[in-house]
Amino acid sequence: MRLFVLCLAGLLLLIQYPLWLGKGGWLRVWEMEQQVAVAQKRIDALKARNAKLGSEVQDLKDGTGAVEERARYELGMIRQDEIFVRVLPPAEATSRSPAAPTPPSSDASGTPASARQP
């Protein structure tokens, strides 16, 4: 009887092998699901990129706003009736300007140094 039970257990394990480790087993299905999820994320990103490019193409075909914007920012062009003004941030303005005269120093009361008596 013991031999019979061992044979049945062995057959049960042989039947379970394809379910878990075979070509269409659970482990293979899990791996494939992971690959599908990664591929779906990539497809979604590419769809968003395609939609963005499609709208940009449509803007370039239909309107002049997109062409004008590209000319301004990428090529530095301005219109004929415009004046170009460049505003520098304070850090760049002080480092690029020639030596500026320093204002006269004053004491805590606000009296200029030239008005004080020695």
- DSSP letters of 102-115? PPPPB-TT--BGGG
Looking at residue 36, its pLDDT comes to 97
- 89 domain residue, yes or no: yes
Q: How many domains does the chain have?
A: 1
Angle between helices 26-62 and 65-75 (to 10 degrees): 100
- pLDDT tens, residue order, the chain (118 aa): 899 899 999 888 888 877 777 777 788 888 999 999 999 999 999 999 999 999 888 887 887 777 788 888 888 888 888 887 888 888 865 665 555 555 555 455 555 544 445 4
Pull the structure tokens for residue 96. 């690029």
Looking at residue 1, its pLDDT comes to 87
From the CA atom positions of the chain, what is the Rg in Å?
A: 38
Looking at residue 97, its pLDDT comes to 54
Quote the pTM value: 0.43
Q: What are the two backbone dihedrals, phi and then psi, of residue 30, each rounded to the nearest 5 degrees?
A: -65, -45
- Rounded CA-CA distance 90/100 in Å is 14
- 101 domain residue, yes or no: no
Q: What does the buried/exposed string (b/e) look like for 55-70 if buried means 16 or more CB atoms within 10 Å of the residue's CB?
A: eeeeeeeeeeebeeee
- Rounded CA-CA distance 18/28 in Å is 11
- 104 domain residue, yes or no: no
Domain that holds residue 56: 22-95
